[in-house]
Structure 1
Amino acid sequence: MIMQNCYHCNEPVLTGNEFTTFIDNQDQLMCCPGCQAVSQAIIDSGLASYYQYRSEPGSKQTALVPAELAQYSAYDIPEVQQDLTHKVDGINTISVSIDGITCAACAWLIEHKLKQLAAITNISVNSTTQRALVSWHEESLKLSEILAAISRIGYQAAPYQVDEQEKQSKAEGRKFLLRLGLAGFATMQVMMFALALYSDYFTLQDTQMRDYFRWVSMTLAAPVVFYSAQPFYFSAIRSLLSGKLNMDLSVSIAIAGAYIASCFATINGNGEVYFESVSMFTFFLLLGRYFEQKAKQTASVNSSNLHKLVPLTAHLNLDGDISEIPAKRLKLGDIILVRPGDIVAADGDIIEGKSGLNESMLTGEQMPLIKTINDSVFAGTINIDQALTVKVTALGQDQLVAEIIRLQEVASNTKPAIAKLADRLARYFSGTILAIASLTYVVWLQISPEDAFWVTLSVLVATCPCALALATPTAITCATAIFTKLGIITRKADVFEKLPRINHVVFDKTGTLTCGTISLENIVLTDSQDEQTVLAYAAALETGSLHPIASAFKAHAHTDICATDIQHHVGLGISGNINTDVVKIGNADFVGVDANHCNGKLLWLSVNGIITACFSLKDALRVDSLATIKQLQQQNIDVSIASGDSASHVNAIAQQLNVKNSYAGLNPKDKLDLINKLQQTQDVAMFGDGINDAPVLAGANLSVAMGSGSAIAKNSADLILLGDQLSKFNQAITVSKLTNKIIKQNLIWAFAYNVIILPLAVTGHVVPYIAAIGMSVSSIIVVSNSLRLLRIKI
């Protein structure tokens, strides 16, 4: 019998075919249950390519790994971690997706739980994106142990992978919608019975029918209490585990208390029942929470996944033999070939060739940069003109694209002061109500023991923070609907709070103030050729070119005019033959024009050595750029321009738009430093378009991206303006001011109602069903006030 080795660790298999894992469409032998569990976890996690491309066998798993921990053990394998973690000075950093976060208390609990692990150097949890940024010493702590620690306190954690995150968000959204629909259906049914019960429709002789209606109501309300209201219970429990109090605690007590008390009343045949109140305020609370849930999903799905822009394959040059391999198999020092039109697969240095590279995914600027031997190129950028030979200098998490992601992650994990204040107020409010309710029960137990529970229940129901919980979400929902009509997408609810406070707006140039596309501004004919022919010649030469300038001539292509023997001269221009003519298009030196007589013209065309035309090209300003900036300045809002473009271009745009402050030649870090400096004295909004703007968008007080911008810029922004109208930002400010006003009115009413109803409930002047009606009316007032936003005219 031939001895076989374990497919996972390559150790001899002594257990026959007892342990197997289905890999590559066949059962593979494993030496022990540990290897079988880990290998199965790798397959179940969608990481089967590890076995295809690994260079060394995995570590032997000598112990039986529990199922819930096996999935985490797969992430300890070095080859798997390569694309997930970033290592600097012995410290690993990873972004972890965490399922189940509902509020800031959840983030606090996770942070403090992980801080108990000595090897953790830093942990920052973002409750909006439901992700954590974790740094730890790898030699002292395994990644699987970190994930298991999070799991033990009730949250499911895994390294952030966009496809899994999208799948989880959709599943969670469907579950939440089911809870909401069930609560809404039950509320409508139970309210029909409640109307008859509250109107004294049943006389003393109809107690049998009254009790029947109560039993039916109790049955209909049960799914609401035991299923729909679960998010409140879990949030309250997690809050208690973290040593904090939140509004969900009093909500949970009120829902459970009212339902249990109503069940006793139904069973005993006396007392009041409040099944409709339980169903109704559960539905209203879930409605507000549902909109909050949708906002979180929008914020988390596809956020910060720049790695999708890096190609999956690369052309490896091994002693002149070119082969296409998965980009993950590249190693430091490998030589790769980057052909014209290819996307660079890894950061590296050019060792042969000269070409223009479009780095708009990093810089936001469409004009290519000419790069030659010893210049650096970056993963995700596009080679335009000629083939390049590149030596790989960085891979995975060490590439520039990953560094931009980390800058964004760090900036977005910083909590604003208003968020911390809101957390404290919510805890104090809930704690105060619970303390008053407890004291009420103790006092009434002395005065009238039989009324103590009902009076206490009245306090909890009457002061249930339903209106307070709805005050902001309902107004935000209505304002978001207005924004949708205007073509504005919001990612964070605090946009409506931040917008009115903005007093400085910083604009990126390309793709924001300008359209981001090269267009033909003017033509000057210098020979006998007519304009139509000249444009057709230029279009013929530019056919097939990936250079942004080519787009300016595409519309003038003529089917009867074609160029042959086209040659691209990097950084100079293009030459070719049209019929019997030798035609060139490019800069002054290339076509033979004295640069001193260019008069600022960008491009020249020659036919058989004779200068025929010169073209002025421009990246056109958006039609409403000037009007938008003027309106902002009229509102005493300072305006600046910050761009990675050259000073001449930036200053020219600033002069056209009457902007005094302009900053040119800035890289992503420079822009973030500028924003941080301005934030010392002002609230700053940042307009961005390119991926390079992702960190600064996350770091600004308020961030805005144009709808035509890159996916990452949009995912980093608080606001996204669809289309090309900058003026929508001014409309957004108007809506936000009204929204802020409505929110303040709602909060004032919610607190005023509680201040008025609380002493009445404590003194026993409010019976529970009146308390429930008062709570519901308070909520309806808040919702109705918010709906006024839908009637405003912009």
Structure 2
Amino acid sequence: MSGCFHCGEPLPAGNGFTATLEGESRPFCCPGCQAVAETIIDCGLGSYYQHRTSTPPKAGAVPEELRRLQHYDLDDIQQDFVLERDHLREVQLSIGGLSCAACAWLIERHLSQIPGVTLIQVNTTTERARLCWDERQTRLSTLLAAFAHIGYQARPFLPHQQELDYNREVKSYLLRLGVAGIASMQVMMVGFALYEDLFPDIDPGLVQLFRWVSLWLSVPVMAYSALPFYRNAWRGLRNRALNMDLPVSLAMLFAFVASVYATVTATGEVYYECVSMFAFLLLTGRFLEMRAKRRASETTANLTHHIPMLARLETGGDEQEVAAKTLMPGQIVRVSPGAVIPADGDIIEGSTSVDESMLTGEHLPVSRRPGEPVFAGTTNVESPLRICVSRRLADARVSEILRAQDDALQDKPKVAVLADQLSRYFVAALLLATLATWLVWLQLDADRAFWIMLSVLVATCPCALSLATPTALTVATSRLTRGGVLVRRAHVLDTLPKATRMVFDKTGTLTRGKVALAKVSLPGALAEQRALALAAALESGSEHPIAHAFLPYADAAIRVGQRQNHIGRGVSGQIEGQTWCLGSGAWLNPGAEDRDLCVYLANEQGLQARFTLNDPLRDEAAELIRQCHAQGLKTTILTGDGSGQAEYVAGALGVSELRKNATPDDKLAYLRECAGRGEVCLMVGDGINDAPVLAGAHASFAMAGGTDIAKNSADAILLGDDLRRLLLARRLAAAARRVIKQNFSWALGYNLIVLPLAATGHVSPWFAMLGMSASSLIVISNSLRLSRI
């Protein structure tokens, strides 16, 4: 082996770093690479070296750098980028040194072996990783050091850093674009004098002078403006991948080198103006593409700008201004009319209207009273409020949206993966076609062979093909977020247009979920107030809508022990030495025919109370079901409620099928039954018992007011609890599918038409350049139409 076994770099003269790995002596360029390789082999991950397609950068985090990682364990530092739930913590990391899919495999395998790590996902495209761990078993500094031990640098990913990187990239593109634009204009003016048809009697010496002037004017374009294309092409070649910048770079370099040769030898044609204008138009297209993607993602990126920097915190009867990100649960803040709410919390004083459009897409303010929640970034419209902070800013709903949106944009649907693969094969086919064209024209007309080959290379560059899918998906995802639908997993856009059945939970989904107590029946000697207090105690801590109906009757003196949730049935617990149960009639009163929504309270002696509840239908539910049927979608209510309330809701809405008294396992079995018949089901739910079926559906939506576990299990979230947004999502997904097909049709059609024209010499290099650039701009503009749906 002529290079380092780990990084592939040349071995220094007289190097003595070797190690015996898996029975063979391996050379290394430094002790850092040797330590990394030994770590990988000792962890049983030696197959990494067999399957990697490129070598990583030189390894070796020095001890001082590893010691600095301990600062990341401080809570004050972690609050900006770590999400905490109980003892589990989650962070997004930027990874340095990723070079291929084997690197992602190596990191995931190595980190997953560390006790306490519950999840590690690496995305080689974005060079980021999602890491979850148990704080009781390991620390963040230990995990970051584990990355360094196998040769990678990991640091917390911060959104504001992304903003800085974007601004830096914009400035760089504008500067490169400016250099290319100014140089192109100068080269075009000089090149104008070289057109023999316009100036047939020009002095040959003057022609040669103009050629040299054009050459020096083109050098800044080739050496500076076009540098990003060379870098991307080289990165692809280094990783044994063909990307669209390869033919672009080859075209520019071939044309420039040929023009330099013609200038030095004073023979042949020069194309300095074509090269300069080509670089200028390519940079313009890339800049517009970057701006289009940025504008498409601004909906969520700008959410952070809605959160105020300062908050008015109450401190012992007085108030002071503090940084909003330092607010902690339990603190009290004041919010003036017209001010932006600085944190998620519950109103403890004041009634007002709140503009929640930045979260839900609904522009009409909603009324909020004491005891109701408000969210960071929304605007207090009318009256002053006192708010008790319920969550840190890092855990606020706006932060959850940002994280979910970021995950969705990293996740590629099948159509995007297919597009990436097609682009790679297309580049290979293009290079072969270009080579074949050049060989054929060498036999037909050697003087024209090079320039015809150049026209083929430029005209058929697959820029438009590579933009066809990602631009449309980015715009569609952004439009959905703006419309109140947060896509958490990208396959939703693939699945929505194919759906044949909509499956709904009942309580909190088709009904408002604002369950109110209508009547109390007491078959035994238990007093009504005592029955309500016992029910409230059993339901304390539950997020189910039914639990909220009993909250006003809670008695702090009643303690519940051994509380146990019986999914789909109810809850039980020990109160004053006796077992009490609160739940459905199917569980506690079998055979009862309840036409209303009823909950029963029972103990060891039998049934003690019957609570009749009222849960009104959502205003938009009937219209949603009607439109589903109009679009050919079947509808099903899948509910754990076994009362007559389920029949009433199904009948009032005109739902196609009702499955009541269904446990979570029954719901999952129903979806599998539908899938066995070839149906594609969309599930909509909100409760803990809906989590398995939300995770198991082809695509699933959780209501914004649903439980955390339901939202984490769903593929998308309805931010405003407006069911009609399901139809918007389906309409937009269908439109995105059409736009992607149009983009592919245009990109492939253009290339199929222009290829034979260029190969037969009917397309000059400058016209090929214009056609290729125009093709990319058409694809981008077509994708941006989705933002207006």
TM-score class, shorter: 0.5 to 0.7
1:735 pairs with 2:732: yes
TM-score (norm 2): 0.54
Task: After superposition, give the CA deviation of every residue in 1:98-119 in whole Å (9 maximum; x if it has no partner).
Answer: 64799xxx764446777999x9
1:622 pairs with 2:618: yes
Query: How big is the shift at 1:432?
Result: 0.6
Give the distance between the partners of 2:709 and 2:182, measured in 1 at CA: 46
1:726 pairs with 2:723: yes
**More relative contact order, 1 or 2 (CA 8 Å, 6+ apart):** 1
Confirm or deny: 8 A CA contact 1:128 1:296 kept in the other structure.
no
Give the distance between the partners of 1:603 and 1:509, measured in 2 at CA: 15
**Match in the other structure for 1:464:** 461
Confirm or deny: 8 A CA contact 1:675 1:700 kept in the other structure.
yes
Confirm or deny: 8 A CA contact 2:691 2:710 kept in the other structure.
yes
Confirm or deny: 8 A CA contact 2:596 2:644 kept in the other structure.
no
Query: How big is the shift at 1:462?
Result: 0.6
Q: 2:629 aligns with which of 617, 630, 633?
A: 633
**Cα distance change of structure 1 residues 785 and 411 upon mapping to structure 2, 3 Å threshold:** closer
Give the distance between the partners of 1:666 and 1:300, measured in 2 at CA: 40
1:250 pairs with 2:247: yes
Give the distance between the partners of 1:690 and 1:182, measured in 2 at CA: 53
Confirm or deny: 8 A CA contact 1:685 1:702 kept in the other structure.
yes
1:225 pairs with 2:226: yes
Q: 2:765 aligns with which of 755, 765, 768?
A: 768
User: 1:103-502 alignment to 2 at 5 Å?
Assistant: 108-110=101-103, 130-131=128-129, 147=147, 151=151, 156=153, 164=157, 166=159, 169-170=162-163, 173-174=166-167, 176-178=169-171, 180-182=173-175, 185=178, 189=182, 192-193=185-186, 196=189, 215-216=216-217, 218-219=219-220, 222-227=223-228, 229=229, 232-233=232-233, 236-237=236-237, 241=239, 243-254=240-251, 257=254, 270-273=270-273, 274-285=275-286, 287-288=288-289, 418=415, 421-445=418-442, 451-476=448-473, 479-480=476-477, 482-483=479-480, 486-490=483-487, 495-502=492-499
**Cα distance change of structure 1 residues 598 and 713 upon mapping to structure 2, 3 Å threshold:** closer
Give the distance between the partners of 1:147 and 1:632, measured in 2 at CA: 50
Q: Give, as a single letter, the amino acid of the residue that structure 1 aligns with 2:633.
A: I
Give the distance between the partners of 1:97 and 1:292, measured in 2 at CA: 22
**Cα distance change of structure 1 residues 637 and 233 upon mapping to structure 2, 3 Å threshold:** same
**Cα distance change of structure 1 residues 481 and 35 upon mapping to structure 2, 3 Å threshold:** closer
**Cα distance change of structure 1 residues 171 and 34 upon mapping to structure 2, 3 Å threshold:** closer
SS in 2 for 1:40: helix
SS in 2 for 1:747: helix
Confirm or deny: 8 A CA contact 2:179 2:221 kept in the other structure.
yes
Confirm or deny: 8 A CA contact 1:183 1:280 kept in the other structure.
no
**Cα distance change of structure 1 residues 523 and 418 upon mapping to structure 2, 3 Å threshold:** same
Confirm or deny: 8 A CA contact 1:110 1:150 kept in the other structure.
no
Q: 1:40 aligns with which of 55, 59, 67?
A: 67
Query: How big is the shift at 1:624?
Result: 1.2
Confirm or deny: 8 A CA contact 2:292 2:784 kept in the other structure.
no
**Match in the other structure for 1:505:** 502
**Match in the other structure for 1:662:** 659
**Cα distance change of structure 1 residues 550 and 516 upon mapping to structure 2, 3 Å threshold:** closer
**Cα distance change of structure 1 residues 209 and 752 upon mapping to structure 2, 3 Å threshold:** same
**Cα distance change of structure 1 residues 164 and 250 upon mapping to structure 2, 3 Å threshold:** same
User: 1:511-522 alignment to 2 at 5 Å?
Assistant: 511-519=508-516
Query: How big is the shift at 1:773?
Result: 0.8
Question: 5+ unaligned residues in a row in structure 1: which ranges?
Answer: 1-32, 51-81, 86-93, 303-409, 525-533, 558-562, 574-585, 588-595, 605-612
- Percent identity among equivalent residues? 34
Query: How big is the shift at 1:458?
Result: 1.9
**Cα distance change of structure 1 residues 425 and 519 upon mapping to structure 2, 3 Å threshold:** same
Q: Give, as a single letter, the amino acid of the residue that structure 2 aligns with 1:624.
A: E
Confirm or deny: 8 A CA contact 2:194 2:210 kept in the other structure.
no
Query: How big is the shift at 1:134?
Result: 12
**Cα distance change of structure 1 residues 235 and 545 upon mapping to structure 2, 3 Å threshold:** same
Give the distance between the partners of 2:727 and 2:144, measured in 1 at CA: 48
Confirm or deny: 8 A CA contact 1:259 1:278 kept in the other structure.
no
Q: Give, as a single letter, the amino acid of the residue that structure 1 aligns with 2:278.
A: S
Give the distance between the partners of 1:476 and 1:564, measured in 2 at CA: 48
**Match in the other structure for 2:747:** 750
Question: 5+ unaligned residues in a row in structure 2: which ranges?
Answer: 1-59, 77-85, 304-406, 522-527, 561-570, 574-581, 584-591, 601-608
**Match in the other structure for 1:330:** none
SS in 2 for 1:724: coil
Give the distance between the partners of 2:663 and 2:64, measured in 1 at CA: 50
User: 1:571-610 alignment to 2 at 5 Å?
Assistant: none
SS in 2 for 1:640: strand
Confirm or deny: 8 A CA contact 2:260 2:270 kept in the other structure.
no
Query: How big is the shift at 1:689?
Result: 3.7
SS in 1 for 2:515: strand
**Cα distance change of structure 1 residues 690 and 522 upon mapping to structure 2, 3 Å threshold:** closer
Give the distance between the partners of 1:177 and 1:718, measured in 2 at CA: 33
- Give the number of aligned pairs: 549
TM-score (norm 1): 0.53
Q: Give, as a single letter, the amino acid of the residue that structure 1 aligns with 2:232.
A: F
SS in 2 for 1:765: coil
RMSD, matched Cα: 6.1
Query: How big is the shift at 1:429?
Result: 1.2
